Chain A
Amino acid sequence: MTRKLSYAEAIREATEQEMARDPSIIVLGMGVDDFRGIYGTTKGLVEKFGSDRVFDTPLSEDAMTGVAIGAALAGLRPIHVHIRMDFLLLAMNQIINIAAKARYMYGGAVSVPIVVRSVIGRSWGQGAQHSQGLHSLFMHVPGLRVVAPSTPYDAKGCMASALRHPDPVMFVEHRMVHFQKGVVPEEPFTVPFGRARTLAPGKDVTLVGVSHMAVECLRARSLLEQAGIQAEVIDPVSLSPLDADGIAASVKKTGRLVVVDTSWTFCGTSAEIVTAVLERTQGKRDVSFARLGYAPGTCPTTKPLENLYYPNPQTIAMAAHTLVKGEGTRWEPRTSEAPEVVEFKGPF
């Protein structure tokens, strides 16, 4: 089994296979049926499944989220697609006040099995309103599942799981991982939520990268090898539920943790992961840790500042190096910018 797919193709394939399996699945969102097909992730679906099951929507995120929830209450499984995560801010009321809480508020009488797909943007001047990683807002709320896989394999498996899951699932993609290629089995399979994936083994330090930052952590790992440091790289895959035990098991081994998020650190996913690990290691293992994420400000469009805004393999490797070798051992590995970032001319 060595067939390779891109991450975007993996999402498309999972969606197509699940739609063939389950006629209750529908796909809605702006542009899902156009010639671009959401970066290829919905391409060909309208031709195969028809316009009742795959349709464009008005620019009405708030109401269309409610429509998706209503349809789910009636037994459909809508996938609602947003080309930027920033647009979810128009859908917050329906997602948080209704979707997340319906089962509980109905005393268990209903399910809202919607899948909300959204894409975090980066590069080519996406700027303030097209680059936000808002996953921690959703992780905060009970009743929602949040997944953000980084590999094509997990993208396909998580999408299949999402489409069989009883709860609302926030499926977080990063525009820069859409281009990642990897081995993906052709036959349908699921990846269970709540289990982190070790992308590469190591004994000196644990690097946890969320979504695109998992890719950057793997690059940081190669840099660290040059300094004789073996980093274990973990993709949490699922953010809620979070596999804190799995991540903590790695940290118990290494004693060092660097969490890298594709969002801000304050009150963010990295804060949660560090806390969850320390809760499991305190009194058993001394752990030193560091967090990296967006600079604590608004995303600029101009390239020189945008470069500073994001963690990169160099800053990740340096943070890990400091944990391993101690303060005052300044080491600055040479690295080039991520190819997917350099090559991206989107425009979106």
Chain B
Amino acid sequence: MSEVLFRELYRIRHVEQEVARVYPTDKIKSPVHLSIGQEAVSVGVCQTLRADDIVFGTYRSHALFLAKGGNLRAMIAELYGKATGCTRGKGGSMHLIDVAAGVMGTSAVVGTTIPLAVGYAYALKMRGSGALVAAFFGDGAVDEGAFHESMNFAALKKLPVLFVCENNLYAIHSPQAARQAKSNLCERAASYGMHAEHVEYGDVFTIRDRTAAAVSAIRAGSGPRFIECMTYRWKEHVGPGDDFAAGYRTRAEAEPWYARDSLNLIGARLDPAVRARIEHEVQAEVRDAFEFAESSPFPGHEELLTDVYGVA
């Protein structure tokens, strides 16, 4: 089991490190919101999901996309703006989707996918599908009215939704305490009548196990559940660099998070030969994806206005 988790975590970390490495070449002409440091949330949750379960995310969804089984080649090609990208180069890093893998939507407008997840869950329930929807969002999205209105409706209709708040303590440079009078998201979720869990240290096993329990309850008809996973963004809000020099947060705050990084902790416990094999395999896969993106064509000019409207 550790091997699977290690592979998943390492794969996402390595992909994003490669994105950061390539970024200065300007081949990725797009804002990139990296999840480096936060991978355990997507991996821990998605490990408990079925292939037919659905996820919705944010502009910071590289990790979620990959953890849910999104196509890596299509993702990198999308970052490069190529026709082989997951949205044919039209959406970029902030709008990754993979409908076949259940990555149903990511949005650059904070909070906007939360009600979409609820609506999707309504349809699933109505059709008796047995699948559920996981809505991923940040501690900033919780400030939006749409979050609260969605929680209320999901609870009212007992919908199969798992609300996953990735609390990385900041919305851009604004700490949670500058935006919310209390840090009590679980209490607030509970007040809507749904069970809420708080996971303090971003440990992938804990996230997976707590989610597994929530997921079985939801499948058994409990209605929505809420899980708040504390985590930490290692890089700047957007872009590949560090930003401790900016002054809004300190390296000292980050250090405990480096120390408890699930990827490093699991990696250190793995048989070195096994670890080397996994890393090697992942690196080859990632290299292939970047080569695929590099060698893919840009969309042709005739594609500018395709898919604005459907065929009536």
Give the B-binding residues of A (Cβ under 8 A).
Answer: 30-31, 34-36, 56-63, 86-87, 89-90, 124-130, 295-298, 300-305, 308-309, 345-348
A34/B179 contact (C-beta < 8 A), A60-B144, A305-B303 known = no
A300 cross-chain contacts in B, Cβ below 8 A: 89-90, 299, 304
Are A125's CB and B81's CB within 8 A?
yes
Within the complex, what minimum Cβ distance (angstroms) separates B81 from chain A? 3
A304/B173 contact (C-beta < 8 A), A56-B178, A127-B91, A346-B31 known = no
Minimum CB distance partner of A124 in chain B:
B29
Within the complex, what minimum Cβ distance (angstroms) separates B312 from chain A? 16
Q: How far is the CA of A129 from the CA of B94 in the complex (A)?
A: 10
Quick one: CB contact mask for B293-312 with A, threshold 8 Å, 1 for yes?
00000110101110010000
Q: Could you give 13 example pairs across A and B, Cβ below 8 Å?
A: A34-B173, A59-B141, A59-B144, A125-B92, A127-B108, A128-B91, A128-B95, A130-B108, A297-B305, A302-B81, A302-B90, A302-B92, A305-B304
Are A297's CB and B171's CB within 8 A?
no
B299 cross-chain contacts in A, Cβ below 8 A: 300, 302, 304-305
Within the complex, what minimum Cβ distance (angstroms) separates B179 from chain A? 4
Within the complex, what minimum Cβ distance (angstroms) separates A65 from chain B? 11
A309 cross-chain contacts in B, Cβ below 8 A: 304
Instruction: Tell yes or no: B215 within 8 A of A by CB.
Output: no
A297/B144 contact (C-beta < 8 A), A36-B173, A59-B179, A302-B82 known = no
A296 cross-chain contacts in B, Cβ below 8 A: 305, 308
B109 cross-chain contacts in A, Cβ below 8 A: 86-87, 89-90, 129
Are B301's CB and A308's CB within 8 A?
yes
Minimum CB distance partner of A127 in chain B:
B92
Are A302's CB and B26's CB within 8 A?
no
Instruction: Tell yes or no: B248 within 8 A of A by CB.
Output: yes
A59/B31 contact (C-beta < 8 A), A297-B305, A345-B26 known = no
A347/B31 contact (C-beta < 8 A), A56-B178, A58-B180, A302-B89 known = yes
A128 cross-chain contacts in B, Cβ below 8 A: 90-91, 95, 108
Q: Name the one of A31, A124, A127, A129 contacting B173, with C-beta atoms under 8 angstroms.
A: A31
Within the complex, what minimum Cβ distance (angstroms) separates A200 from chain B? 31
Minimum CB distance partner of B142 in chain A:
A59
Q: How far is the CA of A295 from the CA of B31 in the complex (A)?
A: 22
A59/B171 contact (C-beta < 8 A), A130-B108, A300-B304, A302-B82 known = yes
A301/B92 contact (C-beta < 8 A), A87-B109, A129-B108, A130-B108 known = yes
**Residues of chain B in range 44-60 having any CB-CB distance to chain A below 8 Å:** none
Tell me how many residues of B have a C-beta within 8 Å of chain A.
44
Q: Name the one of B32, B111, B173, B301 contacting A305, with C-beta atoms under 8 angstroms.
A: B301
Q: Name the one of A36, A60, A302 contacting B143, with C-beta atoms under 8 angstroms.
A: A60
A-B contacts, CB under 8 A, total = 126
A305/B144 contact (C-beta < 8 A), A30-B174, A31-B174, A295-B305 known = no
Quick one: CB contact mask for B116-149 with A, threshold 8 Å, 1 for yes?
0000000000000000000000001101110000
Q: How far is the CA of A35 from the CA of B26 in the complex (A)?
A: 25
Are B140's CB and A59's CB within 8 A?
yes
**Residues of chain B in range 1-59 having any CB-CB distance to chain A below 8 Å:** 26, 29-32
Are A34's CB and B304's CB within 8 A?
no
Minimum CB distance partner of B33 in chain A:
A347
Q: How far is the CA of A295 from the CA of B308 in the complex (A)?
A: 11
Q: Name the one of B92, B238, B248 contacting A35, with C-beta atoms under 8 angstroms.
A: B248
Q: Name the one of A63, A87, A130, A304 contacting B145, with C-beta atoms under 8 angstroms.
A: A63
Quick one: CB contact mask for B216-240 with A, threshold 8 Å, 1 for yes?
0000000000000000000000110
Are B108's CB and A60's CB within 8 A?
no
A34/B89 contact (C-beta < 8 A), A125-B81, A296-B305 known = no
Within the complex, what minimum Cβ distance (angstroms) separates B94 from chain A? 6
Q: How far is the CA of A87 from the CA of B81 in the complex (A)?
A: 24
Q: How far is the CA of A335 from the CA of B285 in the complex (A)?
A: 42
Q: How far is the CA of A62 from the CA of B171 in the complex (A)?
A: 17
Q: Name the one of A89, A295, A301 contacting B91, with C-beta atoms under 8 angstroms.
A: A301
Q: Name the one of B89, B303, B308 contacting A301, with C-beta atoms under 8 angstroms.
A: B89
